[in-house]
Amino acid sequence: MTDTQENKFSSYLVTETVIDQNITTWEPVQSFSDIANKVKSIITDIREKRQIQELNNTSLTENKHDVAAKLIEETLKLLYALVSYAVYSGKKRILSQVNYTESEIRYIRDTILYDRALLIQRKAREYETDLGAYLITPEDISKQNETLTEYATTIAEKSAANTVTKTATEDLKAKFHEMDTLLKEKLDRLILIFKATNPEFVQQYFNSRIIIDLGHRKSTTGQTLITGTVTDAVTGQPLNQVAVSVQGTQLIAYTGPAGLFSIDVGKTGDYTLLFSLLNYKTDSESVRAENGAQVNIDVDLDPIS
């Protein structure tokens, strides 16, 4: 989960708490009850996706690194012997095939390491008898082969785990968009029916909808900044020339080709940002800015169908 998602999710949880604390007010109203329960359901979904996304792959990563380190040392041993044999015997063809530096074995991508280690192993097997004079035994070659097989397995396991995490990340973004749409288009409007009978509930609800940056990142310029990225909700592509204005002020900025925007609001306060672009639904986000700090938000705009 990104920092901006963490901040937004914290807002969702506060909203859920406010709703739970006022259940006697809204429970008799079926329409509000349905939406409130849907909100709680999405929060549960986000928690589940978050667990998958943050699945602890540390052990897989550490295992891959350990096996890679072992494979590198065993491969270098074979390589040094092959190069020595080729140089001493004047076998230029062998030298041209395995003339790798240590860096070209030690600091390369996983799949390239596998390919080069396999090539070196096959050459070592081919000249196994000759390499005996260079301190290489058949067991050294067999041991490297076993490590190479183990390394191939760890690469596959880590790749599979990364795929699961990537899918969960994409699902998580969809859930955030679903929640934002539900809150903005339905609950933010339905809540107003309680304004006369329970104004405190309504005020607490809208206060909970303000996104607060829990990280309190200090602005490098000393300005009080609201920054972020605006993307297409369907394609995920950044949107250029989105008008980002601060409600109740003359402040306005436009996104660039990467969908980025930045607004200096000048001082601490709660601000509502409006996002508008031709052929897209206008969106809004309520954000709390702290003096001299930077708060970041990500916004998805829905195309008008």
Instruction: Give the tens place of pLDDT for each residue, 69-126.
Output: 999 999 999 999 999 999 999 999 999 999 999 999 999 888 899 999 999 999 999 9
Q: Tokens 């009080």: give the residue.
A: 224
Confidence (pLDDT) at 54: 66
Confidence (pLDDT) at 59: 54
Q: Stretch 43-64: mean pLDDT, rounded?
A: 75
Q: Tokens 């601060």: give the residue.
A: 246
64/145: higher pLDDT: 145
Please give the structure tokens belonging to residue 151. 């390394």
Confidence (pLDDT) at 96: 94
The architecture in CATH of the region 210-305 reads Sandwich (2.60)
Grouping H, G, I as helix, E, B as strand and the rest as coil, residue 79 is helix
State the average pLDDT for the chain: 90
Domain locations in the chain?
Answer: 1-209, 210-305
Confidence (pLDDT) at 2: 78
Please say whether the beta carbons of 228 and 299 come within 8 A: yes
Residue 133, Cβ neighbours under 10 Å: how many? 11
Residue 163 has pLDDT above 80, yes or no: no
Measure the CA angle with vertex 169, ends 20 and 166; round to 5°.
Answer: 155
Q: Which of 2-6, 184-188, 214-218 has the lowest mean pLDDT?
A: 214-218
Confidence (pLDDT) at 175: 93
